[in-house]
Chains A and B, each alone.
Chain A
C-alpha cells in the first residue's frame, strides 16, 4: 500500500481555461461552479414551489374559495410537492455536496468532474421539463406520490401524468449519477490522514445520503417503468381488472419514499452539525455517536416504509412491525437532538443568522419529529392520516428542518463561496419572518387536521370550526413569502457588495477554512495532511491556524494550478450535449398516444444524440497529457 499512497510530483502542461463568460459556465466541470449553479437553480425552483403553495393557501383562505378551479388546484398541490422535494430541497443539498465535499476532504475536485456537470444539466433540463406544463394548465395532477392505479391511463387519461412519470425518470438519472460520483469521491479522494472518523460531519451525512440515493432511486425507477409501460404500452402492472395488486405501487413508492425523507433531512443535519460547534466554540458533542446515528437513521430508513400505508389494511402483524421500526428510528434522531444541545451547553454562543437558523432547526425539527412519533402508532395514524395534521408534521420536518438547516448552511458558507458576508441585518429579517411565518402557517394545521380537515381537497364548508385555522395558515404564508423575499434580496445584495470575508471568518475548525475565500480553482495549493478531527482548533476551541484577510489574499501573488503543477480537468460541453440528448429522447415518449411514428423517431434521434455525446466524452481525456 505504502508505495501506492506516495503521490509522484506533478508535471503538468495543463492549459489554463477562460474563467468568465457564458461559455465558461456551460462547459464548466469545476465542482465549486457547479455547486453555485445548483444553488441558484434550486432557489429559482424554491420560489416557484413557494408561489404554488401561496396559490393553494389563497384558495383555502376562506370556506368554498373560488380562486382556483379544482383541476388547477390538483395541478398546484402536485407540482408544489414535486417541485419542493425534487427540484428545491434535494438540489439545494446537492449545491452543498458539490461545493463542500471536495473542500472538506482536501481534494482537487470530485472523482468524475464531467459526470458531475452532467448531473447538473440533467437536473436543470429535467426540472424545466416537469415545470413548464403548469404554465399551460397541463401539469401533473395526481399528487407528488402519483398513486397507481389513480395515475394510470384509466383514471388519468390526459398527458398531465406523462410529464410527471418522465420528469421523475429524468431527475432520477441526475441523482443516481451524482450518488456514484460522491460515494467514489468520499471513499477515494480523501487527503492523507483524513480517516473516516476524522471526516467533517457534513461529509459524513452526505456519504450516508448518497448510499440512500443509490439504493432507493432504482426502486422508484422500476415503479415508474411499470407505470410508463402501463400508460404507453398497455401492460397490466397496476391493472386491477387483470389481477394486479392495488398496493404494488404504494410499496415500491414508499420503499423509495421513506429513504427519500432522510435524503432530504440528513444534509441539513450535517450542515447544522458544522454550524453549532463553530458558533459555540466547542467540538461537536459525541462525534462518533453522531456518525453512527446518521448511519443508523439511513439503515432503518429502509425498514419503515409501510407506516405510510397503515390505513390500507395490511393486517395487525405488518402494522405492528412497521410501527415498532418507526418508533425505533426516533432513537438515533433523538440522540442527534440531544448531542446538538450538549454541543451548545456551556459554549461561547454567538448568535449569528447562521446560528439562529441552526438553533431553530433543533427546535422546529423536534416538533415535527414528535408529531411523527405520534402517527407511528397505527390507531393514532388512522385518525390523522390524510388530514392536515400530516401536512403540519412534514412541513415542520421539511421547512423547519431541511430548509432551516440549508439556510443555516447558506449563511455559514456564503463567505467561503463568494468571499463576502451575507448581511446580518437583512438576515435577521429573513430569519425572524421565516420562523414566525412558518409557525403561523403550519402550527394551526395541527388543529384543522385533528378537527378532520382532509388533505388535497380544494374546498371546505363553513361551520366546521376550521375557518380560523385556515385563515391563520394563509396569513402565515404571506409572512413566509416576505421572509423569503428578504433572504433573496440579502443573497443578491451580498453577492454584489457584501463585506469582504477572510479565509476563516467564523473561526471554524475544518480544513475548507484554510484556503482563500473564494477558493482558487484548484482548491489546495498542496495536498493537505490531516492529523485530527478539528485541525484548525486546539483542545479549547481556539483557532490555531493562520487566517488570511481578503486584502492579504488580493495582495499576494496567487499561483495558478499550472504554476503549481496541479493537473486540472479540461472544460467540456459534452455533459450538457449528452444531457440534452437524454431529455430529448424522453420527450419523445410524450407522443406515443398521438403519433407513434413521431414518438419512435424522436426517441431514436435522442438516443443517437446522447450516445454520440457520450462516446465523444469518453474518448476525450479529462486532462491534457502530462
Chain B
C-alpha cells in the first residue's frame, strides 16, 4: 500500500510529489488528518449536547416512546424509524467500500487490465459514480426522514430533542453533501482528462474525509437511534 500512496520522489512529472518533505508524505495527507482531528471535536460537541439533552424535553414528540399531548389530546408515536435508517446506514457503509475501490482504481490506472473483473475493478469512473450515488441516496433518505418527522409534528423548534437531533444529524448530512460535491468534482476531472496515479493523493484525501464522515455516522446511529 505504501508504495502506491506515497508520492515517489522524482517520478512525478507534475503535481507536488517531488518537493522535499520531512516525513516523505505529501502535505495534503497531513493536513487532512489534522482537519479530521479538529472535526472530531466538532462532532464531539454536537453529540455530547444531544446526550446531555436526552430525556430533558418537557414535551414530545420523543425519539423512542409514544407521547400524548396533554393539551390537544393528540397522540404521537415514537419518532425514530429504525428500519429505514438502518437501510440508509447500510447504503452509507457500502459507499465507503466503493470509495476504497475508486482510490485503488486511480492508483492502479496504469496496470494492464485484461479480464472483465480487472476492467470493472479498475474503472475509477464506475466506483466514483457508485460512491456519489450512494452518498446522494443517503441524503435522500435523510430528506425523507426529516420531512416525515416534520409532518408527524417534530420540527427543530418543537423541543430540545428536535433542536439537538436536527442540528446533529443535519450537520452530518451537510458533511455528506460536501463530500458528494467533492467526489463529483473528482469525477468531473476524471471525465475531462482522466485521473492518473499522480492524482492519487487528491483522491486519497477525499476518501479519508469520506470514511471519516462514515465513521461519525456509525457513532451517531448507535447513540441516537439504537440506544434507547
Q: Interface residues, chain A, CB within 8 Å of chain B?
A: 1, 3-8, 111-112, 176, 179-181, 183-184, 187-190, 192, 194, 214-219, 221-223, 225-226, 229, 233-237, 242-245, 248, 252, 255, 527, 615, 621-622, 625
CB-nearest residue of chain B to A186? B22
**A6 to B21, alpha carbons, bound, how many Å?**
9
Task: Name, among A7, A184, A216, A625, the residue most crowded by chain B CB atoms within 10 Å (CB to CB).
Answer: A184
Which 7 A-B pairs have CB atoms at the shortest separation, nearest pair first?
Answer: A4-B24, A218-B42, A222-B45, A7-B20, A235-B163, A218-B41, A111-B27
CB-nearest residue of chain A to B168? A222
Pair B160/A243 contact, Cβ less than 8 Å: yes
Please judge, given known A-B contacts A188-B22, A188-B30, A234-B157, whether A215 and B57 are in contact too, CB under 8 Å.
no
CB proximity of B161 to chain A, nearest CB, Å: 9
B49 surroundings in chain A (CB, below 8 A): 222, 226, 237, 248, 252
CB proximity of A172 to chain B, nearest CB, Å: 11
Pair B38/A242 contact, Cβ less than 8 Å: no
Pair B167/A8 contact, Cβ less than 8 Å: no
**A–B Cβ pairs within 8 angstroms, 21 of them:** A4-B24, A5-B9, A5-B20, A5-B24, A112-B27, A179-B34, A180-B34, A187-B22, A190-B22, A214-B41, A215-B37, A215-B41, A218-B38, A219-B42, A221-B42, A226-B49, A233-B157, A242-B57, A243-B53, A243-B56, A244-B160
Please judge, given known A-B contacts A111-B31, A242-B58, A242-B159, whether A223 and B45 are in contact too, CB under 8 Å.
yes
Task: Name, among A189, A190, A222, A615, the residue most crowded by chain B CB atoms within 10 Å (CB to CB).
Answer: A222
Q: Interface residues, chain B, CB within 8 Å of chain A?
A: 6, 8-10, 14, 16, 18-25, 27, 30-31, 34-35, 37-39, 41-42, 44-46, 49, 52-53, 56-58, 156-157, 159-160, 162-164, 167, 171, 185
Pair B31/A218 contact, Cβ less than 8 Å: no
Please judge, given known A-B contacts A7-B9, A222-B45, whether A189 and B21 are in contact too, CB under 8 Å.
yes
A217 surroundings in chain B (CB, below 8 A): 38
| Cβ-neighbour of B167 out of A3, A6, A226 (below 8 A) | A226
Pair A194/B34 contact, Cβ less than 8 Å: no
CB proximity of B166 to chain A, nearest CB, Å: 8
A226 surroundings in chain B (CB, below 8 A): 49, 167
**A237 to B16, alpha carbons, bound, how many Å?**
45
CB-nearest residue of chain A to B163? A235
CB proximity of A146 to chain B, nearest CB, Å: 16
B18 surroundings in chain A (CB, below 8 A): 8
**A343 to B21, alpha carbons, bound, how many Å?**
33
**A236 to B164, alpha carbons, bound, how many Å?**
8
B163 surroundings in chain A (CB, below 8 A): 229, 235-237
Pair A236/B159 contact, Cβ less than 8 Å: yes
CB proximity of A153 to chain B, nearest CB, Å: 13
A244 surroundings in chain B (CB, below 8 A): 53, 56, 160
**A233 to B156, alpha carbons, bound, how many Å?**
8
B185 surroundings in chain A (CB, below 8 A): 615
Pair B34/A183 contact, Cβ less than 8 Å: yes
CB proximity of B200 to chain A, nearest CB, Å: 15
Pair B30/A183 contact, Cβ less than 8 Å: yes
Pair B25/A188 contact, Cβ less than 8 Å: yes
CB proximity of B80 to chain A, nearest CB, Å: 19
**A223 to B57, alpha carbons, bound, how many Å?**
19
Given A189-B27, A236-B157: 7 more A-B contacts, CB < 8 Å: A5-B9, A8-B10, A194-B22, A236-B159, A236-B162, A237-B49, A237-B164
